[in-house]
Structure 1
Amino acid sequence: MSVTAIFLPDRISAAPGETAALTLQLRNPTDGERVVKLRAGGGLAEQTVLQTETIYLDPNEQFEVPVIVDANSNLPAGLHSCVIEIDDGGQTSNAAATVEIIETAAYAARLEPPTSRSAAAGRHKIAIENGGNVTLMVELDVTTSDDVAAELAAPAVTIEPGKTAKVELRIAPRVKYWNGTDQEHPFTIGVSGSNGESAVLDGAYVQGPRVRPWFLPALAGMAGSFLLFVLAWFLVLQPRIETIADDRAAALDEAQSTELQTQVDAIEAAAAEAAELPLGEPVDLRLEVTSGAAASQTTSFVFDEQGNNRVLSITDIIFQNPTGAIGTVELLRDDQILQQSNMANFRDLDFHLVAPFRVNSRSEISLRVACETPGPGTDQCVVAATILGFVDDN
């Protein structure tokens, strides 16, 4: 006769996130000592914890082993079997109890980030976590002021148990302005679940000017430095140089006088070059790429093909993804990637560079698009980049 085992109780209930406590009662009905080894089996093996796995039983001894079942959110609602496999010196048997997982619907919602800042548009994500064990549908509704428009990627989402869904939200101003103070646009998001629970998330989009606050002071500083240089040249340097040149020219022969004049000409040329704007003449360029799904396309432009030793300084880049395509877009200088972005995160995206990208003569500027999924209602990814900057002689 082998060791007998039964569960007490043999049926128990638990909600997701709770633990179910059972007792496995072992009894040795024989006249000899027995060594019993226990192992969790069945569908709840990973959720079952035994207080001990090896038991030594004296003759006619009865022993109780605590068994804990972790009813996490990954377990679907319904009946499950907790099975303990018993090895009694080579003889095997099973003891089983029924664990009923109670149907529970619950979720948690949060806004990431709560506050966004941009001159073009604010970007947020609504994260909804299903903490229950049943599939849940959640509806979203955004309320804003008349000054901004809300673009919600999906008004409703269905979330499997234990999963988290993230819905993109874009808050765009109806009117953009070039300078001034920041303007805050608060908004609220109503969240309603199919389980009857509802919540309200508060957020804010802070709209800034299209011209950065540091731009005008920097421009004024550059103008002031240039003015000081011009004044110093005309009031101090040029008269001094001319005086020195006149004094020495009287004492030098024709060859020495010619050499001195050459030096004066070089100084004046350097001064004239310094008087020019640092970056040159403003220019703009637009590159557009059309690509089919699961494909990659590139559009290129060669700067200064004639090789006139010029420099393009790129100060602003604006990516455009009007159809909402999914994929990646890259801006390259020759084979070097200057900027890379995931198109799923934007419809339009602007970059304003403090230190510009420099492109030399005969260098190639390319826009490369790897299209994964075209936008809704389209069969191609249509992506563009507008490039702003200055051109100057090197």
Structure 2
Amino acid sequence: MPAVTVAPGDTATTGVTVRNDSDIVEAYNLEVVGDCAPWTTVDPPRVSLYPGTSETVTIRLEPPRSPEVRAGEVPLGVRVLPTEHPESVRVLETTVHIEEFRELRAELVPRRRRGWLRGRYRLTVRNQGNSPVRVGFTPGQAGEELGFAFSPAEPKPEPGESTEVGLRVRTGKPVWFGAPVVWPFTVDTAETGDQETVGRDATAVRAPLDAEFVQIPIFPRWLLVVLAALLALLLAWFALVRPAVRSAAEEAVNEAVQPRPTPAGQPGGQAPDTGPGGGLDARPGGREPGATPGSGGDGSAADAGTSGGAGVSGGAGRQSSATIDLQTPGGATRTGTYRVPDNSVFGITDIVVANFQGDEGVLTITFGDRKITTIALETFRNQDYHWVTPIEIPENDTVTVEVTCEKPGTPATGRRARGCHEVLNVSGVLSRTAR
């Protein structure tokens, strides 16, 4: 049989002549064998011949346009089987040349992508031809604002095979504010390599794939409104509110530092109805003039008046302070004292009590024979009292702190203490007395 050339999707024919060289009437069955059998037929498939006669049978080849029919040389065999003498079977062979055809299918997803500077897409390319082909991509855009990168740049899918290609689109500069910018672009898919073969194949011309990249601004539109509102508030503060606040503060400071007039006939700092050496104020409640509770205090320390005693020497005293560190076992009562030195008067203006462990119990402070205050330990950690007019403690008199420890607290170490621990600091002016 002669060689045959056929293009996928077309039809080609060839002939086989069967001759009966026997001396009897013989029937012959013809059957196509090999890779061409699925798409090759014999017409007629059976012939009967008298001795010495022959007949030509048509072989029709109709390969489908499919990637399964690979381009190239394919063997074709036709088996001729005599009915009466099957041992005389013969197989006629030839070669079928299947022509090459190219067909690509491409899909770009997604068709629309949003981003600040770049967007990623996916190209799916399927080789519907019957031979391997190298694929190239050509991006298109109206301007030059976008950059394109394909990975891989030139894939080579086999017939019937699909391959995925990553596409990255990038803009040259960001959009800071405003509306999103839409950048449309196209991607052409074409075979590379033998351009003559590509040019002869009409299927090589395909419509480009359309897509677009939506570049969103870095800062949303509502942020501009918020920034404008904040700027307006800031300007209003500096223009209107700040001057008013500053003026009110200056007036308050001037009023606070303005000196108060002293009633005629009374020495400065001496309360009315008290003679030399002091004594309790005759006002209701017995509060000493000028005594004010400190931060966190309840004001009970102000019930003490100045004590009497020897006159103070004309020279000014010196600032002095004393600390009483008292540790009390749990369930017990302990007392700590400070004694005023001989020939001295201690004018107390400030006291500070520290309960740094958070103990529970009762603390009492006494100046001489007068109780200044009694405090529950669990109500404070640090307590301070201050007096404008000093409370004078005469010589050899004492400042006493008494603690009844009901439950020791827990210091910063995290372990509960074995006993209560309080510290009292008294400060003021220590003056020498005249003898």
For the aligned pair, the TM-score class normalised by the smaller chain equals 0.3 to 0.5
State TM-score, norm by structure 2: 0.38
State TM-score, norm by structure 1: 0.42
More strand by share: 1
